[in-house]
Structure formats: structure tokens, C-alpha cells
Amino acid sequence: MKKLTTLLVLITTVFCMFSGCSKAQENLQNKDEIKSDKNILIVYLSRTKNTKAVAEMIHKNTGGSLVEIELQNPYPADYKMIVSQVAKENEMDYLPPLKTKIENIEKFDIVFVGFPTWGMQLPPPMKSFLKQYDLEGKTIIPFNTNAGYGIGSTFQTVKELAPKSKILEGFSVKGGKERDGILFVIEGEKEKEVQGEIKKWLKKIGLGN
């Protein structure tokens, strides 16, 4: 009788173990399905590499394709010169031609668009991207770095240039301050802090782990 009881306990334990493993595997598969259910594109413009750092953090958490926007005619390295040029482009509604080409953009369901705040406005190259590609029906998620003055009109302009897209809550963080010679800052403790903020934000909009 004692042997029979021991055998029954052993069978029950083994059954529960396999059942638990099966359940865990099922949950893991479900998570993978959620993550791979949507094709994700992360497009970003970065001058001081802070927006690039944020884009890479998003990519690490969501996967997908990561693409940096480059111009056919790059902006000057000198800060005052680029400020003057961008101001003229904004005044004339000029859209600088892009060197970057994205093939089969129709396959992406979710498009993250990342950029710094320039003169409290959306940078002209990002306007070029939003005008050049048909993003109708897609979910667009803006993210931004700035010198401490906020997003300005950038997120609103994204909405205006993609009126037939679904725009989710964006993310913004203080980056460098090129005017004062402060360039790349998202490293060390700042990097860890931003990583935590991005994870919370992604979870809030339904794309976090």
C-alpha cells in the first residue's frame, strides 16, 4: 500500500511538472506572437547621437528594422550654419531630398519616428520622410530628444503630416545642448535612467514586455 501511494505521488508530480512546462511554453509562445504579430520600423534622425541612442534602446525592446535618415546633401557641421539653413528651409517649406531609401514600407504596421527638436519645430528631413512615404493606416509613434525646451510643435506636426495614421503617445527626453557645446549625453547613469523610462513608456502604449 505504501509503495502504491509513493507511486501515485510520483506520477502526480511528474504530470504537474509537464503540465507546468507546457503552460510556461504556451505563455512564451503567446508573448512571441504578440511581439512578432506587428512589423516594426524605427526611423530616426540624429545629429549629436542622442536620438540614435534612444532609437537603439527602443529597437532592443521591440525588435524590427532600424533605419537612420540621411540626406543627399548633408547639413554643415558648424552649429550656427545649420541653424541658419534649417530656419530658411522651414520658412520656405523646403523638403530636403533623402539619401535613405526604405524598400517595401507597406509591410510595416508600426513606425516609430525619432528626431531632435530644432528651433522648436520638426526637423525638415523628418518632414521629408513623412511626406515621401505613404503611412496611411499605420500606427506612428514619435520619440524626441531636445535641449531642455521640450518638443515644441514637433509631435503636432507629425499628426498633421500623417492625418490618416494612428498616432500613439510619444516619448521625449532631454539630450545634448549643441549651442553650448554639450553633445552626446545619454551614457552612464543617464543611459540607465533613459532605459527605464523607455521601458515604462513602451509598456504604457502596449509594446513593452
Domain containing 71 — which CATH number? 3.40.50.360
Is residue 183 in some structural domain? yes
How much is the average pLDDT of 139-160?
98
Q: Is residue 33 scored above 80 in pLDDT? A: no
Q: Is residue 10 part of a domain?
A: no
Cα distance between residue 158 and residue 149, in whole Å? 18
pLDDT exceeds 60 at position 37: no
Q: Please give the grid coordinates belonging to residue 134.
A: 505613404
What is the structure's pLDDT at 1? 45
Distance between CA atoms of 93 and 98, rounded to whole angstroms? 15
Residue 17 lies inside a defined structural domain of this protein: no
pLDDT value, residue 53: 98
Q: Supply the mean pLDDT for the chain.
A: 87
Query: How many domains does the chain fold into?
Result: 1
Report whether 25 contacts 97 (CB < 8 A). no
Is the CB of residue 153 less than 8 Å from the CB of residue 124? Answer: no
Question: Quick check: is 192 in a domain?
Answer: yes
Compute the residue count for the chain: 209
Banded model confidence at residue 3, pLDDT cuts 50, 70, 90: very low
Q: Is the pLDDT of residue 178 over 80?
A: yes
Please compute the mean of the pLDDT values over residues 176-202 and round it to a whole number: 97
Domain-embedded: residue 194: yes
Asked if residue 49 belongs to a domain, the reply is: yes
In a domain, 209, yes or no: no
Range of the domain at 104: 38-204
pLDDT at 40 over 70: yes
Which band of pLDDT confidence, cut at 50, 70 and 90, is reported for residue 172?
very high
Q: Is residue 3 part of a domain?
A: no
Segment 76-92 shows an average pLDDT of 97
Structure confidence at residue 36 as a pLDDT band (50, 70, 90): very low
Q: Give this prediction's pTM.
A: 0.82
